[in-house]
A and B are shown apart, each in its own frame.
Chain A
Amino acid sequence: MSEIRSSATLVALRDLERSSRRATMFIVREAGRVVKNEAKRNVRVYHGRPRFDVPRGRLRKSIHSDKRLRRSGEDTYSVRVAPRGWPVRGYAPKIEALDGYMEAGRRLALEQIDAIAEKSWARATRRRV
């Protein structure tokens, strides 16, 4: 008897849809890591006379990305990367104006976004046993 067997196809399509959500999360998270690492690498560290009120490397240590992804809507995920903490709020934008460390991280992430996306897709669609 002739028939069109579509159950396996539907399962595969549904699995692919789930994998797309996972891949989206992987991409965002990995891009956030790239931004964070590049920003830390480019931010300047104070090497002047030691001061008790300004610990050395505080701005670099304060750069973090969100631990949890933000989800808006059904299929939209986002993450924020920025210097965290009130002590650095005052001078982080000023140093950004001088060095552009966050801009460097953003630029690198955009350059590598294709590779990140492909790698994340491969990871998300890897056959799970």
Chain B
Amino acid sequence: MAGTLPPVVVELTANSGQFTAAMVQARGEVAALSTQGTAHLQKFSAANKAATEEVTRSASRLSVVLSLVSALFAKDSQRGFRSELRESAVAATESGGSLTALGKTAGVLGGSLLITAAASPIIARAFTAIQGPAEALDKALFGNIDEFNKVKKAAEDTAAALLKTKGAFGAAGSAKTFTDVLNQTDLLKAELTNAQQRLQNLSDTYGHFNSIVSDAATKGAAVQLKELTKAAAQSDEEQKQLTYDVKALASRLGDTNAAANDYARELQILQSSGLGLNQINDAVISSLARTADQLTSTTSSTYGLTAAVQGLLSVLGQAGHGSITAGFSTIVGDVVKDAGILANNPLLTQTQASLQKKGLNPDQIAAFLAQQKTTLSAIGSGGVGSVGGQAGLYDLNNILNPKGGGGGYSAAQAAKDSQNDALANLRARIQAESQIHPTSLAYDKQMVVAAQDTLHIARAAEKHAQSVYEHAKGEKARHAAHQVLITTMGLVNASQKDVTRLQNEGKTLALAAKRSALELNNARLEATSNMLDQATADAVHVKEAKDALALDKKNTLDYYRDLKTYNEAVATAVRDATSAAQQAKSDQAALANAKIEAGLDFSNAAAVAQAKVTEAQNTLNADQGGSLQYYQDLAALHQAIAAQAAALAQNTTATVANTAAMGGPLNQLPSYLADRITANAGAYYNRTPHAAGGGGGMTVTVTSMSGQDVLTAINAELRRNGKPPLS
């Protein structure tokens, strides 16, 4: 029964391994394309910028589509997607569209992905799903779009200049058209190829001859000498045949040379007609590079290419286009060096594949390439059968007909030496041309050096300006300090005047206070004196009552009567003495109040002045020594000190006057009255401060600074900070 029950466990499984494998493959392809393609691209771009653009664009397109493929197959792990994709692939296959590179990738993934109308909705949905990464891919892959545009524009400019050049040739009415020159050049190239092949065979024969001679010298075999003689005779025959061929070629080169001279004249005409040298330069450089490429691919002969290049250089040099020669020499040097790389460059295959992606069929591609080749060769062929080419053949003739007339070994060595000399000559001429006519890179370097010099000059000027600024700043500070000094001296003088004025006013106030105090004391002391007189009378009464009591017999009626009188007299005396002491203290307080009311207490003003001096000192300590703020605060400190001196002087004057005014009358009290008050009042009496201080008052030191003192202080500060003193 249990076996018939259905399962209740649902397991959901998803796998993204295929997507991961696709991503790994895509990364590998992109990395390989980047590492290998960049090096080839840099070399290739010098010879054919248009091809560079196409290859790079193909690489970018390949990466984008690879990403799309990867994204599409990411959904392959989902249910229903694979079948949909296969259906689309089948439909695409039937429609005939094909992407070679993508087909390979798709085949690995188990399907054939073709971007057709049937598959486009799927791509659109997948692209929506991977919108984020797709944007990143777009930005990354088309990061070279600016560079592409530049290259494209350069190619367009080159094509335009090429057309202009061709048009100028047509307008100049050249005796020989480009087609004729091209045909002659093709024939010449074929002959050169044959001659080169024969030279190679001859070199091989001489090499064999040399090895046999070595063996013969070593082994002493006479039989081998016969073979050597036979081989030498055969070489002589071939040499004669080659000499004949070279002479025939030289005669044909004479005609081509005339065409090349026409070409040079036309170039001069173009130059004199005002056509931009840069345009001619770009056109000729591009066409010559393509021609060199063509020569390389057809002849695969470095020597032939060298001779052709040498001829072109000669033509261009005679035409007066030194810059053209220099630019061409740079490019051709790379082309010669990388001829083998260019011949087997896989990017050429990719370029052709990219053209196929554009929808062009093989016939269209072949027609396009043939058209480009014909157009470019027509321009470049003008230099190939020229004086330089003749010179190259002349060198070849020397190789084939050595002056020394030695055996096969010496002729082969002479051929190699002559070839090396020709290459050395070419390098020397290219180097000389490059030095005379610097390339744009050298010009850029000069500009960089000039810019660096300008930068150094600017930095030196900036440094000088900084020093001038520092000097001016120091002068400004000195000027400001001088102004502060003048202001300070004015303030000090004003303060001194104020001190004098306040001292005079203090004296006046002191005199007024003295008079007021005297008048007050006169009234107060009169009342106090009366009270003291009463106290004195009380004391007399006490003494009399005490004497009377002493005369009485104790415990008698008189004794108690006199005792009562004595006690009453003592009480009266104490009461009156207490009243007198209280009156004296009241007098003291009243005198102090009168002093304050008269404005004679300057201790508060002195404390305020002291606080200001302290604050100014703290502010000065917070400043940086030698700064403008420092000198300003220093002047403020001296001003505060002067104000404090004035306040202290006022206080001193007032105190002295007050002491003289108040101490005098108090000191004039009869000493016996004081003794009596002390004896009678006891603890009720306190001595006044003035009396306790012996009439001293405050003791202060009057501080005053003149303008010269302020100047001396400022100069001391300047010297301490390493600054020149003020005069």
Contact flag A82-B10 (CB < 8 Å), given A9-B30, A20-B74, A94-B5: yes
* A121 vs chain B, min Cβ distance (A): 4
- The segment from B140-148, B351-359, B569-577, B674-682 found at the interface with A is B140-148
Interface residues of B in 8-23 (CB under 8 A from A): 8-17, 19-20, 23
A contact residues around B70 at 8 Å (CB): 13, 16
- Complex Cα distance A10/B28, Å? 9
* B630 vs chain A, min Cβ distance (A): 53
Is B45 an interface residue, CB under 8 A from the partner?
A: yes
In the complex, the answer to whether A8 meets B129 with C-beta atoms within 8 Å is no
- Complex Cα distance A105/B17, Å? 27
In the complex, the answer to whether B20 meets A17 with C-beta atoms within 8 Å is yes
Interface residues of A in 51-110 (CB under 8 A from B): 73-83, 92-94, 96-97, 100, 102-103, 105-106, 109-110
Contact flag A73-B13 (CB < 8 Å), given A6-B34, A20-B74, A114-B81: no
A contact residues around B15 at 8 Å (CB): 24, 73, 75-77
A contact residues around B144 at 8 Å (CB): 2-5
Contact flag A110-B10 (CB < 8 Å), given A1-B42, A24-B15, A96-B5: no
In the complex, the answer to whether A2 meets B31 with C-beta atoms within 8 Å is no
In the complex, the answer to whether B23 meets A6 with C-beta atoms within 8 Å is no
- Complex Cα distance A6/B34, Å? 6
Contact flag A81-B129 (CB < 8 Å), given A4-B59, A6-B31, A17-B23: no
* B83 vs chain A, min Cβ distance (A): 12
Is B133 an interface residue, CB under 8 A from the partner?
A: yes
* A10 vs chain B, min Cβ distance (A): 6
Is B75 an interface residue, CB under 8 A from the partner?
A: yes
Is A127 an interface residue, CB under 8 A from the partner?
A: yes
Question: Which of A4, A23, A39, A94 is B74 in contact with, Cβ under 8 Å?
Answer: A23
Chain A's interface size range is 35 or more
B contact residues around A106 at 8 Å (CB): 10
In the complex, the answer to whether A93 meets B17 with C-beta atoms within 8 Å is no
- Complex Cα distance A87/B177, Å? 102
Is A45 an interface residue, CB under 8 A from the partner?
A: no
- Complex Cα distance A99/B77, Å? 31
A contact residues around B20 at 8 Å (CB): 17, 20-21, 74-75
Is B125 an interface residue, CB under 8 A from the partner?
A: yes
In the complex, the answer to whether B31 meets A10 with C-beta atoms within 8 Å is yes
In the complex, the answer to whether B78 meets A113 with C-beta atoms within 8 Å is yes
Number of B positions contacting A (CB below 8 A) = 60
Contact flag A6-B30 (CB < 8 Å), given A16-B130, A17-B23, A117-B75: yes
A contact residues around B9 at 8 Å (CB): 80-82, 102
Contact flag A16-B33 (CB < 8 Å), given A24-B77, A81-B12: no
In the complex, the answer to whether B23 meets A20 with C-beta atoms within 8 Å is yes
- Complex Cα distance A114/B82, Å? 12
Question: Which of A96, A114, A126 is B8 in contact with, Cβ under 8 Å?
Answer: A96
Is B131 an interface residue, CB under 8 A from the partner?
A: yes
Contact flag A125-B140 (CB < 8 Å), given A9-B30, A109-B12: no
Interface residues of B in 135-157 (CB under 8 A from A): 136-137, 139-141, 143-144, 147, 151
A contact residues around B13 at 8 Å (CB): 28, 76-78
- Complex Cα distance A76/B11, Å? 13
Fill in one digit per residue for B61-94: 1 if any A CB lies within 8 Å of its CB, else 0: 0010001001100110111110000000000000
A contact residues around B143 at 8 Å (CB): 5, 8
Q: Which residue of A lies closest to B60 (CB)?
A: A4
Question: Which of B17, B33, B139 is A8 in contact with, Cβ under 8 Å?
Answer: B139
**7 tightest Cβ-Cβ pairs between the two chains A and B:** A8-B140, A6-B34, A93-B5, A78-B13, A82-B9, A117-B78, A17-B23
Which residues of B line the A interface, CB within 8 A?
2, 4-17, 19-20, 23-24, 26-27, 30-31, 33-34, 37-38, 41-42, 45, 52, 56, 59, 63, 67, 70-71, 74-75, 77-81, 125, 128-133, 136-137, 139-141, 143-144, 147, 151
18 contacts between A and B (CB under 8 A): A1-B42, A2-B41, A2-B56, A2-B151, A4-B56, A4-B144, A9-B30, A12-B140, A20-B23, A28-B14, A39-B10, A73-B17, A75-B17, A78-B13, A80-B12, A82-B9, A102-B8, A117-B81
Apart from A12-B137, A126-B132, list 9 A-B contacts with CB within 8 A.
A3-B41, A6-B33, A24-B15, A28-B12, A75-B17, A78-B11, A96-B5, A106-B10, A125-B132
